[in-house]
Amino acid sequence: MENFEFVSPTHFVFGRGAEEQVGAKLSERGAKKVLIHFGGQSAVKSGLIDRLKATLDAAGIEHVELGGVRPNPEIGLAREGIRLCKEHNIDWVLAVGGGSVIDSAKAVAVGAHYDGDVWDFFETKQPTNDVLPIAVVLTIPAAGSEASKNTVMSNDELQLKSGYPNNAQRPKLAFMNPELTFTLPPFQTAAGLTDMFCHLLERFFDDVGAVPVTDNLNLSLMKTVRAEAPRVMVEPENYDARANVMWAGMLCHQGLAGVGRHEDWATHGLEHELSALYPEITHGAGLAVMFPAWMEYVYPENPARFAYYGREVFGLAPTGDVEADALSAIDETRAFFASLGMPTTLAELDVCEDDIEKLIPTLKENKGEPFGSFKKLTKDDAREIYRLAL
């Protein structure tokens, strides 16, 4: 097991009616004026935003609203949120939505007390503790941003998508009511399931040997996501299935499933370039295409690790041929994503071979060279993985 540091300051309020406690919990923590940050109109039309404002009003907490966060959130709206925070002396940011909204809220919270442009943090990765506290009402289980140290933002002007890790931006409060996910469209549910499963894959495959305590937690979460996925897709209002998925999604990216390992994150880097170039590509859908392609390219580095994964997660019987077993595990991974309705090729995402060279310069800028840990990848390796995904 490698050395590690692990921080998890999030207070979770989980279960039916969790969001009704927002005002009281924020009041306990001294909140006076809150920026309510959300995405499109679904949170408004469902009445959720009005219910949250009512809890804040009952607690005597003032509030300002900023909606409009898109999938693959753009830094421009976060800059507007920062302006509002400074203008109105905001002391808490309340994110209402999924990973895109929470990531945007983190960018707002990081930039609220900063005199420069918040994008500086995404370029330099400079740590800061001067971050507004963040609360989350989760409506889309997927990214795990409700408890993670990470945020990922797009900069359309630069055609870049970049991450910023900082423990100070981990949300202080997360309100998680599975009932709020009942009406998610099937595609959004499936993309979320794919994203959380891929968060585990990034941690399971690296250049560190066995770390039993971490590996077993990781494998257990993979099996849970795989088991609950078909139930959620067929029975979208199955409370227990939704609850298991919601809690698993948080654990998949909180960090606990990777302690003592180096982790890889090459595939997320490869996908981020796709959705930076084409923001309409849903992150989970891009991962569903890129992860099996990455697996096919790198598995010879340690086929036994892939065979072990196949046995534990998909119940594949050993054949005596480790390489064949590894390839079977990769096939099962692709089939699992496809069973959720996810794409299996870049062509399904309207990405063609001519696009590959557009992805490479910003990939190098974001990830450096080499990148990844399971196999150290170069720009040429990245080109080959993109071609495998076509």
To 10 degrees, the CA torsion angle through 49, 61, 17, 144? 70
Instruction: Sketch the domain layout of the chain as residue ranges.
Output: 11-181, 186-389
> What does pTM read for this prediction?
0.93
What is the arithmetic mean of pLDDT over 251-279? Answer: 94
> Backbone dihedral region of 244: left (phi > 0), alpha (psi from -120 to 50 degrees) or beta?
alpha
CB of 305 closer than 8 Å to CB of 330: no
CA end-to-end distance (rounded Å), the chain: 37
The mean pLDDT value of the chain amounts to 96
Residue 197 has pLDDT above 90, yes or no: yes
DSSP structure string for 196-211: HHHHHHHHHSSSS---
Predicted local confidence at residue 366, as pLDDT? 86
Residue 182 confidence class, pLDDT cut points 50, 70, 90: very high
**CA–CA dist 309, 215 (Å, integer):** 10
Predicted local confidence at residue 342, as pLDDT? 97
Residue 160 has pLDDT above 90, yes or no: no
324-383, pLDDT tens digit by residue?
A: 999 999 999 999 999 999 999 999 999 999 999 999 999 998 899 999 999 999 999 999
DSSP structure string for 234-259: H-TT-HHHHHHHHHHHHHHHHSGGGT
- Percent of residues, the chain, with pLDDT higher than 90: 93
**CA–CA dist 204, 218 (Å, integer):** 7
**CA–CA dist 191, 202 (Å, integer):** 16
By CB atoms closer than 10 A (0-12, 13-18, 19+), residue 167 is middle
Where does 11-181 sit in CATH, by number?
3.40.50.1970
Domain 186-389 has CATH 1.20.1090.10: yes
Who's near 176: CB < 8 A, 6+ residues apart?
A: 12, 13, 14, 15, 18, 138, 146, 246, 247, 250
Predicted local confidence at residue 6, as pLDDT? 87
38-69, pLDDT tens digit by residue?
A: 998 888 999 999 999 999 999 999 999 999 99
Residue 91 has pLDDT above 90, yes or no: yes
Longest Cα–Cα distance of the chain, Å, equals: 67
Residue 93 has pLDDT above 90, yes or no: yes
Q: Residue 89 is encoded by which pair of tokens?
A: 């002396």
266-278, pLDDT tens digit by residue?
A: 999 999 999 989 9
Dihedral pair phi/psi, residue 118, rounded to 5° = -60, -25
Q: Residue 40 is encoded by which pair of tokens?
A: 């499109």
Q: Taking the alpha carbons of 331, 336, 341, 342 in that order, is the dihedral positive or negative?
A: negative
What is the arithmetic mean of pLDDT over 181-195? Answer: 95
Predicted local confidence at residue 41, as pLDDT? 82
Predicted local confidence at residue 288, as pLDDT? 98
Where do the H-state alpha helices sit in the chain?
A: 22-28, 42-45, 48-58, 75-88, 99-111, 119-124, 186-204, 212-234, 239-254, 266-277, 283-298, 303-314, 322-339, 356-367, 379-389
Residue 7 has pLDDT above 90, yes or no: no
- Percent of residues, the chain, with pLDDT higher than 70: 100
